[in-house]
């Protein structure tokens, strides 16, 4: 049964955001920075992380349950803050709402950004196996017919590494540099971080390219898309009261809570909510 009866978007309602784990927090933080009046309800599906190793069918089933939960929280908009879920479950999430416009994924805004500024013809992309194998970025960029060439590389160790708290250290630097040295990425002018976990290793990526390659971070781009959408539909929250965000995970992990507190402060309270019990 679809939760369409729960969907009644109002300016005071929250923005619902979900990801397989901590990666979507980069998107949530960018939205919070840009729209500090907006309440956020975040769901990290840590019990099924990483999505990049799962089948499309499995990801779709997870996304449906999470969307149902977010609708029960009276969210006015759903943001799929996960490239694997955006590639595999966008239609399923859209079908949960009366109007599919009220779902924003992390792929389309980035593709629009890339193709609008088409000065870079050779573009690299790193992401999970699911995102890369879907070829969704490649298909959308080719459809735009801007003459841009995309070179994609699956980097399956990165998301689990980050989820376990290994970033900004010697271990993460070694693994990141090992992937970026792959000959497939030679000659690129910009690189898409096609996983919302990857901004957490931005320093390692930046140190490798030393300013010679433009790094495309989806979090800021998606937050601008959210602001534009809410403004267009007159759903921006005008209240100046401090919003009370809510953070849920399907399986509690200490590393998730630590990272969430880095972004949203030590007062953050993480709630465990297993939707599949």
Active site residues: 82, 195
For the record, the structure tokens of 181 come out as 């040295």
C-alpha 173: how far from chain center: 22
| Torsions phi, psi for 194 (to 5 deg) | -90, 40
Strand order of the β-sheet with 122-127 is 149-154, 122-127, 190-194, 214-217
| Torsions phi, psi for 114 (to 5 deg) | -65, -50
**120 SS3 class:** coil
Cβ within 8 Å of residue 118, ≥6 positions away: 146, 147, 148
Apex CA 97: angle with CA 92 and CA 100, to 5°? 75
φ/ψ bin of 135: left (φ > 0), alpha (ψ from -120 to 50), beta (otherwise): left
CA dihedral 259, 264, 267, 273 (to 10 degrees): -70
Helical residues (DSSP H) of the chain, grouped into ranges: 24-34, 56-72, 83-94, 108-116, 129-134, 136-144, 158-163, 170-180, 202-209, 218-232, 254-264
**159 SS3 class:** helix
Residue in the structure block whose two tokens are 């972004």: 263
| Torsions phi, psi for 202 (to 5 deg) | -60, -40
Residue 142, number of CB atoms within 10 A of its CB = 14
């Amino acid at each position: 049964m679809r939760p369409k009866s729960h969907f009644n978007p109002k300016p005071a309602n929250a923005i619902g955001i979900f990801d397989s784990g901590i990666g979507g927090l980069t998107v949530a933080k960018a939205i919070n920075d840009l729209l500090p009046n907006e309440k956020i309800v975040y769901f990290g599906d840590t019990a099924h992380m990483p999505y990049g190793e799962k089948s499309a069918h499995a990801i779709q089933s997870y996304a449906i349950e999470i969307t149902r939960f977010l609708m029960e929280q009276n969210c006015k908009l759903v943001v799929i803050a996960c490239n694997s879920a955006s590639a595999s479950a966008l239609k399923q999430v859209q079908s949960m709402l009366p109007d599919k416009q009220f779902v924003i994924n992390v792929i389309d805004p980035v593709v629009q950004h890339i193709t609008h500024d088409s000065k870079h013809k050779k573009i690299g992309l790193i992401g999970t196996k699911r995102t890369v194998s879907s070829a969704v970025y490649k298909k959308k960029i080719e459809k735009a017919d801007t003459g841009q060439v995309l070179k994609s590389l699956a980097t399956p160790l990165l998301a689990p590494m980050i989820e376990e708290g290994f970033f900004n250290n010697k271990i993460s630097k070694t693994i990141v540099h090992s992937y970026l040295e792959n000959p497939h990425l030679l000659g690129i002018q910009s690189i898409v971080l096609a996983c919302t976990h990857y901004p957490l290793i931005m320093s390692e990526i930046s140190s490798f390219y030393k300013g010679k390659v433009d790094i495309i971070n989806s979090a800021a781009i998606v937050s601008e898309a959210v602001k534009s959408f809410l403004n267009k539909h007159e759903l921006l929250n005008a209240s100046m009261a401090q919003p009370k965000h809510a953070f849920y995970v399907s399986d509690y992990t200490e590393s998730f809570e630590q990272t969430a507190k880095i972004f949203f402060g030590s007062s953050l309270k993480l709630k465990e909510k297993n939707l599949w019990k």
